[in-house]
Amino acid sequence: MQNMPSILTPDFGLLFWMLLAFLVVLFVLAKFAFPAITGAVEERKRFIDESLKNAREANERLATIEAKSAQLLKEAREQQAQILQEAKRTGENIIAEARAKAQAEGRKDLEAAKAQIAVEKENALRDIRSQVVGLSLQIAEKVVRGSLADDKAQQAYIERLLAEQTQQP
């Protein structure tokens, strides 16, 4: 053993110090260094995984929201078109009805006016007729009275009366 180079034979002193030094460094690194590093890396890995998962979920949610909003938009458009169409139809109906009503009203008024006119006319005719009768009676009365007095006078009288009559409205 003692003829061999010293690097080939274990040495107690070196072994002792190496073991001591190694235990010190192992204790410190195992307690304070490696767990901090590997722990941080693992934590970061978990954080990244979680973030990815969240992002994926958010994307999925966004996709469904987009689909839903597109659906809503489509429905809204359809409804809008329908409402517009209905409104148009309703408008047309109202106009048509109004027109029909106006026509009917106009016709009714016209008829009423016509009836009124007819009544008025009847009344006027009746008035004229009664006045004519009255006049005729008066004339006849006066003619009868004049003829009774003088032919000439009668004649003149009738003429005067007639003149009066024609002058008088």
Partner 1 sequence: MRKRIHTPGLLRLLPALLAVALLFAATPLRAAEEKAEIDVKEAVLGHMSDAYDWHITTWNGHHVSIPLPVIVRSQRDGRWHVFSSARFGHDGKETYEGFYIDEERQGKVYERGYDARPWDISITKDVVQIWINIVILLVVFLTCARWYRKRNVQDAAPGGFVGMMEVLVVAINDDLIKASIGEKHYRRYAPYLLTVFFFLLVTNLMGLIPIFPGGANVTGNITITFLFATITFLFINLLGNREYWKEIFWPDVPTWMKCPVPLMPVIELFGIFTKPFALMVRLFANMLAGHAIILSLTCVIFITWQVNALVGTSLSAVSFLMILFMDLLELLVAFIQAYVFTMLSAVFIGMSLPEHHKA
Q: Which residues bind partner 1 (CB under 8 A)?
A: 2, 4-19, 21-22, 24-26, 28-30, 32-41, 43-44, 47
Q: Torsion-angle region of residue 11: left (phi > 0), alpha (psi -120 to 50) or beta?
A: beta
Q: Which is nearer to partner 1, 47 or 164 (CB)?
A: 47
The DSSP letter of residue 123 is H
Q: What is the DSSP code string of 65-107?
A: HHHHHHHHHHHHHHHHHHHHHHHHHHHHHHHHHHHHHHHHHHH
* Nearest residue (CB) to partner 1, 54 versus 82: 54
Shortest Cβ 70–partner 1 spacing (Å) = 35
> For residue 71, what are the CA distances in angstroms to 3, 67, 121, 155?
93, 6, 73, 108
Of 36 and 128, nearer to partner 1 (C-beta) is: 36
Counting every residue written for the chain, the total comes to 169
- Cβ at position 12, least distance to partner 1 in Å: 7
- Of 10 and 169, nearer to partner 1 (C-beta) is 10
Q: How far is the CB of 73 from partner 1 (least distance, A)?
A: 37
What is the CB neighbour count within 10 angstroms for residue 146? 19
CB of 52 to partner 1, least distance (A): 14
